[in-house]
Amino acid sequence: MAGPLLLLGPQRPTPNVAEALARVGGEGPVVTITAGWRLDEGELGALHGVIGPDAVHLPLYQWFEECMEQMPETRAMYKVRQAQLIRLKRVYRERLHRALEAVRELILQRDDHPEILNPQLEWALDDVRRIDQQFVDQSRAIFHTYPEVGRPWELDQVAERRKQSAALLSNARAVVIAGGHVAVLRNRMMFFGVHQQLYQAWAQHTGVVAWGAGSMLLTDRIVLFYDDPPDGPSHPEILDTGLALLQDTVILPDAVKRLRLDDRMRVALLAGRFKPNLALGMENGAWLELEDGRLVQKGTKGSALLLQADGRVVPLEEAD
Protein backbone atom coordinates (compact mmCIF):
# COMPACT_ATOMS: atom_id res chain seq x y z
CA MET A 1 0.00 0.00 0.00
CA ALA A 2 1.29 3.41 -0.97
CA GLY A 3 2.34 5.97 1.61
CA PRO A 4 0.48 9.17 2.42
CA LEU A 5 0.33 11.74 -0.39
CA LEU A 6 -0.14 15.31 0.79
CA LEU A 7 -0.46 18.32 -1.48
CA LEU A 8 -0.07 21.67 0.22
CA GLY A 9 -0.71 25.23 -0.82
CA PRO A 10 2.10 27.77 -1.10
CA GLN A 11 4.03 28.00 2.16
CA ARG A 12 3.89 31.78 2.41
CA PRO A 13 2.86 33.54 4.52
CA THR A 14 1.95 30.70 6.89
CA PRO A 15 3.66 27.34 6.39
CA ASN A 16 1.84 24.12 7.20
CA VAL A 17 4.47 21.61 6.13
CA ALA A 18 5.49 20.76 9.71
CA GLU A 19 1.89 20.02 10.62
CA ALA A 20 1.49 17.89 7.51
CA LEU A 21 4.67 15.96 8.23
CA ALA A 22 3.47 15.21 11.76
CA ARG A 23 0.44 13.62 10.14
CA VAL A 24 2.68 11.41 7.97
CA GLY A 25 4.30 9.88 11.04
CA GLY A 26 6.82 7.02 10.79
CA GLU A 27 10.52 7.00 11.54
CA GLY A 28 13.59 8.03 9.62
CA PRO A 29 14.84 11.10 7.85
CA VAL A 30 12.77 13.55 5.86
CA VAL A 31 14.40 14.02 2.46
CA THR A 32 14.01 17.49 0.99
CA ILE A 33 14.15 18.22 -2.73
CA THR A 34 14.54 21.90 -3.58
CA ALA A 35 16.06 21.77 -7.06
CA GLY A 36 13.32 24.16 -8.19
CA TRP A 37 15.04 26.91 -6.26
CA ARG A 38 17.91 26.65 -8.73
CA LEU A 39 20.95 28.55 -7.46
CA ASP A 40 19.33 28.92 -4.06
CA GLU A 41 18.84 25.18 -3.74
CA GLY A 42 21.13 24.95 -0.76
CA GLU A 43 19.58 27.79 1.21
CA LEU A 44 17.64 25.49 3.44
CA GLY A 45 17.68 27.37 6.73
CA ALA A 46 14.01 28.26 6.84
CA LEU A 47 12.74 24.96 5.41
CA HIS A 48 14.88 22.70 7.57
CA GLY A 49 14.11 24.92 10.54
CA VAL A 50 10.42 24.12 10.09
CA ILE A 51 10.97 20.40 9.41
CA GLY A 52 13.44 19.86 12.24
CA PRO A 53 16.62 17.84 12.72
CA ASP A 54 15.40 14.88 10.64
CA ALA A 55 15.73 16.87 7.42
CA VAL A 56 18.27 15.62 4.88
CA HIS A 57 18.78 17.40 1.61
CA LEU A 58 19.02 15.81 -1.82
CA PRO A 59 21.06 18.35 -3.81
CA LEU A 60 19.90 17.55 -7.33
CA TYR A 61 20.55 20.99 -8.79
CA GLN A 62 24.13 20.95 -7.56
CA TRP A 63 24.65 17.39 -8.76
CA PHE A 64 23.39 18.30 -12.18
CA GLU A 65 25.80 21.25 -12.45
CA GLU A 66 28.67 18.98 -11.44
CA CYS A 67 27.68 16.30 -13.94
CA MET A 68 27.43 18.81 -16.74
CA GLU A 69 30.95 19.99 -15.93
CA GLN A 70 32.21 16.42 -16.03
CA MET A 71 30.32 15.37 -19.17
CA PRO A 72 30.74 18.00 -21.91
CA GLU A 73 29.39 15.68 -24.61
CA THR A 74 26.25 14.97 -22.67
CA ARG A 75 25.89 18.66 -21.96
CA ALA A 76 26.16 19.46 -25.67
CA MET A 77 23.59 16.83 -26.54
CA TYR A 78 21.35 18.07 -23.76
CA LYS A 79 21.45 21.53 -25.29
CA VAL A 80 20.62 20.21 -28.73
CA ARG A 81 17.63 18.41 -27.30
CA GLN A 82 16.52 21.49 -25.41
CA ALA A 83 16.72 23.51 -28.62
CA GLN A 84 14.47 20.96 -30.32
CA LEU A 85 12.00 21.17 -27.48
CA ILE A 86 11.98 24.96 -27.67
CA ARG A 87 11.19 24.76 -31.40
CA LEU A 88 8.37 22.37 -30.68
CA LYS A 89 7.04 24.63 -27.93
CA ARG A 90 6.93 27.57 -30.34
CA VAL A 91 4.82 25.65 -32.85
CA TYR A 92 2.62 24.27 -30.08
CA ARG A 93 1.90 27.79 -28.83
CA GLU A 94 0.93 28.98 -32.28
CA ARG A 95 -1.52 26.14 -32.81
CA LEU A 96 -2.83 26.46 -29.29
CA HIS A 97 -3.46 30.16 -29.66
CA ARG A 98 -5.59 29.68 -32.74
CA ALA A 99 -7.53 26.77 -31.29
CA LEU A 100 -8.23 28.58 -28.02
CA GLU A 101 -9.38 31.70 -29.83
CA ALA A 102 -11.93 29.51 -31.65
CA VAL A 103 -13.16 28.12 -28.34
CA ARG A 104 -13.40 31.60 -26.87
CA GLU A 105 -15.47 32.77 -29.81
CA LEU A 106 -17.86 29.85 -29.43
CA ILE A 107 -18.28 30.45 -25.69
CA LEU A 108 -19.21 34.06 -26.44
CA GLN A 109 -21.84 33.01 -28.96
CA ARG A 110 -23.25 29.88 -27.43
CA ASP A 111 -26.21 31.50 -25.67
CA ASP A 112 -27.64 32.50 -29.05
CA HIS A 113 -27.99 29.03 -30.53
CA PRO A 114 -26.96 26.52 -27.90
CA GLU A 115 -28.32 23.57 -29.88
CA ILE A 116 -25.79 24.30 -32.60
CA LEU A 117 -22.96 25.85 -30.66
CA ASN A 118 -22.66 23.52 -27.68
CA PRO A 119 -21.61 20.51 -29.76
CA GLN A 120 -19.30 22.79 -31.76
CA LEU A 121 -17.78 24.03 -28.52
CA GLU A 122 -17.12 20.51 -27.32
CA TRP A 123 -15.46 19.63 -30.64
CA ALA A 124 -13.39 22.80 -30.47
CA LEU A 125 -12.26 21.82 -26.97
CA ASP A 126 -11.42 18.39 -28.35
CA ASP A 127 -9.20 20.14 -30.87
CA VAL A 128 -7.39 21.88 -28.05
CA ARG A 129 -7.01 18.63 -26.11
CA ARG A 130 -5.66 16.96 -29.24
CA ILE A 131 -3.07 19.72 -29.68
CA ASP A 132 -2.05 19.31 -26.03
CA GLN A 133 -1.73 15.56 -26.44
CA GLN A 134 0.21 15.85 -29.68
CA PHE A 135 2.62 18.20 -27.97
CA VAL A 136 3.18 15.74 -25.16
CA ASP A 137 3.61 12.86 -27.61
CA GLN A 138 6.10 14.75 -29.71
CA SER A 139 8.03 15.87 -26.64
CA ARG A 140 8.34 12.21 -25.66
CA ALA A 141 9.50 11.37 -29.18
CA ILE A 142 12.21 14.04 -29.00
CA PHE A 143 13.38 12.62 -25.68
CA HIS A 144 13.70 9.20 -27.25
CA THR A 145 15.59 10.63 -30.22
CA TYR A 146 18.48 11.42 -27.91
CA PRO A 147 19.17 8.19 -26.01
CA GLU A 148 22.50 9.62 -24.78
CA VAL A 149 20.57 11.99 -22.57
CA GLY A 150 17.30 10.09 -22.47
CA ARG A 151 18.49 7.72 -19.72
CA PRO A 152 21.39 9.63 -18.19
CA TRP A 153 21.20 7.72 -14.92
CA GLU A 154 22.83 4.80 -16.73
CA LEU A 155 25.99 6.85 -17.24
CA ASP A 156 28.79 6.25 -14.73
CA GLN A 157 29.03 9.80 -13.46
CA VAL A 158 25.31 9.86 -12.78
CA ALA A 159 24.98 6.32 -11.49
CA GLU A 160 27.07 7.03 -8.40
CA ARG A 161 24.86 9.89 -7.33
CA ARG A 162 21.81 7.88 -8.18
CA LYS A 163 22.93 5.27 -5.68
CA GLN A 164 23.15 7.98 -3.05
CA SER A 165 19.66 9.20 -3.79
CA ALA A 166 18.33 5.63 -3.73
CA ALA A 167 19.87 5.06 -0.31
CA LEU A 168 18.41 8.29 1.03
CA LEU A 169 14.92 7.70 -0.33
CA SER A 170 14.69 4.09 0.72
CA ASN A 171 15.27 5.03 4.37
CA ALA A 172 13.13 8.14 4.37
CA ARG A 173 9.89 8.37 6.29
CA ALA A 174 8.87 11.21 3.98
CA VAL A 175 10.01 13.13 0.95
CA VAL A 176 9.31 16.84 0.80
CA ILE A 177 9.29 18.49 -2.63
CA ALA A 178 9.27 22.26 -2.46
CA GLY A 179 8.00 24.73 -5.06
CA GLY A 180 10.12 26.76 -7.44
CA HIS A 181 11.00 26.43 -11.12
CA VAL A 182 8.87 23.53 -12.22
CA ALA A 183 10.81 22.66 -15.38
CA VAL A 184 14.14 22.67 -13.56
CA LEU A 185 12.71 20.60 -10.74
CA ARG A 186 11.26 18.07 -13.15
CA ASN A 187 14.35 17.88 -15.34
CA ARG A 188 16.74 17.41 -12.44
CA MET A 189 14.62 14.65 -10.92
CA MET A 190 14.32 12.93 -14.29
CA PHE A 191 18.02 13.30 -15.03
CA PHE A 192 18.99 11.29 -11.96
CA GLY A 193 16.06 8.92 -12.24
CA VAL A 194 14.80 10.15 -8.88
CA HIS A 195 11.27 10.08 -10.26
CA GLN A 196 11.44 6.29 -10.37
CA GLN A 197 12.99 6.04 -6.93
CA LEU A 198 10.37 8.34 -5.51
CA TYR A 199 7.60 6.25 -6.98
CA GLN A 200 9.09 3.08 -5.52
CA ALA A 201 9.57 4.65 -2.10
CA TRP A 202 6.01 5.98 -2.10
CA ALA A 203 4.69 2.58 -3.14
CA GLN A 204 6.49 1.16 -0.10
CA HIS A 205 4.87 3.50 2.43
CA THR A 206 7.13 6.58 2.28
CA GLY A 207 5.07 9.72 2.62
CA VAL A 208 5.26 12.41 -0.04
CA VAL A 209 4.56 16.03 0.81
CA ALA A 210 4.73 18.70 -1.88
CA TRP A 211 3.64 22.20 -2.70
CA GLY A 212 3.90 24.64 -5.59
CA ALA A 213 5.94 23.21 -8.42
CA GLY A 214 6.46 20.08 -6.32
CA SER A 215 2.74 19.37 -6.20
CA MET A 216 2.34 20.05 -9.93
CA LEU A 217 5.06 17.51 -10.58
CA LEU A 218 3.15 14.75 -8.78
CA THR A 219 0.25 14.84 -11.25
CA ASP A 220 0.20 13.17 -14.63
CA ARG A 221 0.25 16.43 -16.56
CA ILE A 222 1.92 19.72 -15.64
CA VAL A 223 0.04 22.82 -16.75
CA LEU A 224 1.77 26.22 -16.83
CA PHE A 225 -0.46 29.23 -16.31
CA TYR A 226 -0.52 32.96 -15.63
CA ASP A 227 -3.29 35.22 -16.86
CA ASP A 228 -1.51 38.55 -16.64
CA PRO A 229 1.99 38.14 -17.98
CA PRO A 230 3.97 41.29 -18.80
CA ASP A 231 4.29 40.22 -22.41
CA GLY A 232 0.60 40.35 -23.18
CA PRO A 233 -2.14 37.73 -23.09
CA SER A 234 -1.19 34.16 -22.61
CA HIS A 235 -2.82 30.77 -22.53
CA PRO A 236 -2.19 27.93 -20.12
CA GLU A 237 -0.01 25.32 -21.74
CA ILE A 238 1.32 21.87 -21.02
CA LEU A 239 4.88 21.68 -19.78
CA ASP A 240 5.12 17.92 -19.92
CA THR A 241 3.99 14.80 -18.17
CA GLY A 242 4.44 14.61 -14.41
CA LEU A 243 5.30 11.75 -12.08
CA ALA A 244 1.67 10.62 -12.00
CA LEU A 245 1.47 9.74 -8.32
CA LEU A 246 -1.79 11.61 -8.55
CA GLN A 247 -3.97 11.10 -11.63
CA ASP A 248 -6.70 13.12 -13.30
CA THR A 249 -5.87 16.34 -11.51
CA VAL A 250 -4.38 19.63 -12.63
CA ILE A 251 -2.79 21.54 -9.77
CA LEU A 252 -2.82 25.34 -9.99
CA PRO A 253 -0.77 26.84 -7.13
CA ASP A 254 -1.49 30.43 -6.14
CA ALA A 255 -4.49 30.49 -8.48
CA VAL A 256 -6.02 33.58 -6.88
CA LYS A 257 -2.95 35.61 -7.74
CA ARG A 258 -2.10 34.02 -11.06
CA LEU A 259 -5.53 33.57 -12.62
CA ARG A 260 -8.42 35.90 -13.24
CA LEU A 261 -10.85 33.77 -11.31
CA ASP A 262 -13.58 36.39 -11.63
CA ASP A 263 -13.50 35.98 -15.40
CA ARG A 264 -15.95 33.14 -15.93
CA MET A 265 -14.98 32.77 -19.55
CA ARG A 266 -11.35 32.12 -18.70
CA VAL A 267 -12.23 29.77 -15.87
CA ALA A 268 -14.67 27.86 -18.09
CA LEU A 269 -12.07 27.58 -20.79
CA LEU A 270 -9.40 26.29 -18.43
CA ALA A 271 -11.63 23.83 -16.58
CA GLY A 272 -13.37 22.68 -19.77
CA ARG A 273 -10.12 22.09 -21.59
CA PHE A 274 -8.78 19.74 -18.94
CA LYS A 275 -12.06 17.99 -18.17
CA PRO A 276 -12.51 15.29 -16.83
CA ASN A 277 -9.42 16.20 -14.77
CA LEU A 278 -10.07 18.28 -11.70
CA ALA A 279 -8.61 21.78 -11.97
CA LEU A 280 -7.61 22.71 -8.42
CA GLY A 281 -6.39 26.08 -7.25
CA MET A 282 -4.16 25.79 -4.18
CA GLU A 283 -3.81 28.74 -1.82
CA ASN A 284 -1.82 29.22 1.36
CA GLY A 285 -3.29 26.93 4.02
CA ALA A 286 -4.46 24.24 1.59
CA TRP A 287 -3.70 20.65 2.56
CA LEU A 288 -5.14 17.92 0.39
CA GLU A 289 -4.70 14.27 1.24
CA LEU A 290 -5.27 11.38 -1.07
CA GLU A 291 -7.71 8.99 0.58
CA ASP A 292 -9.16 6.04 -1.33
CA GLY A 293 -8.36 7.74 -4.62
CA ARG A 294 -10.06 11.01 -3.59
CA LEU A 295 -8.49 14.29 -2.53
CA VAL A 296 -9.75 15.38 0.86
CA GLN A 297 -9.21 18.89 2.18
CA LYS A 298 -7.59 18.84 5.63
CA GLY A 299 -6.36 22.42 5.63
CA THR A 300 -7.96 25.84 5.91
CA LYS A 301 -11.47 26.03 4.49
CA GLY A 302 -11.66 27.79 1.15
CA SER A 303 -7.95 27.38 0.45
CA ALA A 304 -8.41 24.67 -2.19
CA LEU A 305 -10.55 25.89 -5.08
CA LEU A 306 -12.27 23.84 -7.73
CA LEU A 307 -12.49 25.51 -11.13
CA GLN A 308 -15.63 24.36 -12.89
CA ALA A 309 -16.47 24.11 -16.56
CA ASP A 310 -19.39 26.51 -16.07
CA GLY A 311 -16.90 29.21 -15.07
CA ARG A 312 -17.60 29.12 -11.35
CA VAL A 313 -14.94 28.67 -8.69
CA VAL A 314 -15.98 26.91 -5.51
CA PRO A 315 -14.12 25.71 -2.40
CA LEU A 316 -13.28 22.06 -2.85
CA GLU A 317 -15.11 21.06 0.32
CA GLU A 318 -18.32 22.61 -1.07
CA ALA A 319 -18.08 20.92 -4.46
CA ASP A 320 -20.44 18.10 -5.36
Partner 1 sequence: MKVIDLIEAIREEPTRAEALLDAFVAAHQFPLVEGDTATFFFYDGKPAKGVNLMHWVFGLETRQPFQRILGTEAFYLPLELPHRARVEYKFELLRGGHRRWIRDPLNDRRAFDPFGSNSVCPMPGYEHPTWIHPEPGCRRGSVESFKFRSEIWTDEREVTMYLPNEYKAHKKYPLLVCHDGGDYRKFAEMVEVLDNLIHRREVRPMVVAWTDGHNRNPEYGANPRQADFLVNELLPQVRERYGVTHDPLETGCMGASFGAVSSLYAAWQHPGVFGKLLLQSGSFVFTDIGHHGRSALFDPVVAFVNQYREEPERIGTPRIYMSCGVFESLIQFNRALVPLMRQSGLRVRFSEAQDGHNWIAWRDRLREGLCWLYPGHLWMWYD
260 lines the binding site for partner 1 (CB under 8 A): no
254 lines the binding site for partner 1 (CB under 8 A): yes
Neighbouring-strand partners of residue 290: 295
40 lines the binding site for partner 1 (CB under 8 A): yes
**Rounded Cα–Cα distance for residues 154 and 166 (Å):** 14
Distances (CA, A) of 202 to 24, 186, 215: 12, 17, 14
Identify which of residues 115 and 231 has a Cβ nearer to partner 1 in the complex. Answer: 231
Please list, residue by residue across 162-180, b when 16 or more beta carbons sit within 10 angstroms of its beta carbon and e when fewer do.
beebbebbeebbbbbbbbb
212 lines the binding site for partner 1 (CB under 8 A): yes
45 lines the binding site for partner 1 (CB under 8 A): no
Q: Which one of 99, 106, 216, 270 is in contact with partner 1 (CB under 8 A)?
A: 216
User: Binders of partner 1 among 168-207, rule CB under 8 A?
Assistant: 179-184
Q: Which one of 3, 7, 8, 10 is in contact with partner 1 (CB under 8 A)?
A: 10
86 lines the binding site for partner 1 (CB under 8 A): no
For 284, other C-beta atoms within 10 Å of its C-beta total 20
Question: Which residue, 312, 239, 236, 316, is CA-closest to 283?
Answer: 316
Distances (CA, A) of 39 to 28, 99, 103, 160, 180: 28, 37, 40, 22, 11
Identify which of residues 173 and 235 has a Cβ nearer to partner 1 in the complex. Answer: 235
What's the distance, Cα to Cα, between the start and end of the chain in Å?
28
Per CB under 8 A, the segment of 64-72, 127-135, 193-201, 212-220 that binds partner 1 is 212-220
Per CB under 8 A, the segment of 122-130, 166-174, 229-237, 298-306 that binds partner 1 is 229-237
Identify which of residues 138 and 234 has a Cβ nearer to partner 1 in the complex. Answer: 234
Residues that bind partner 1 (CB under 8 A): 10-13, 36, 39-40, 179-184, 211-213, 216, 224, 226, 229-231, 234, 239, 253-254
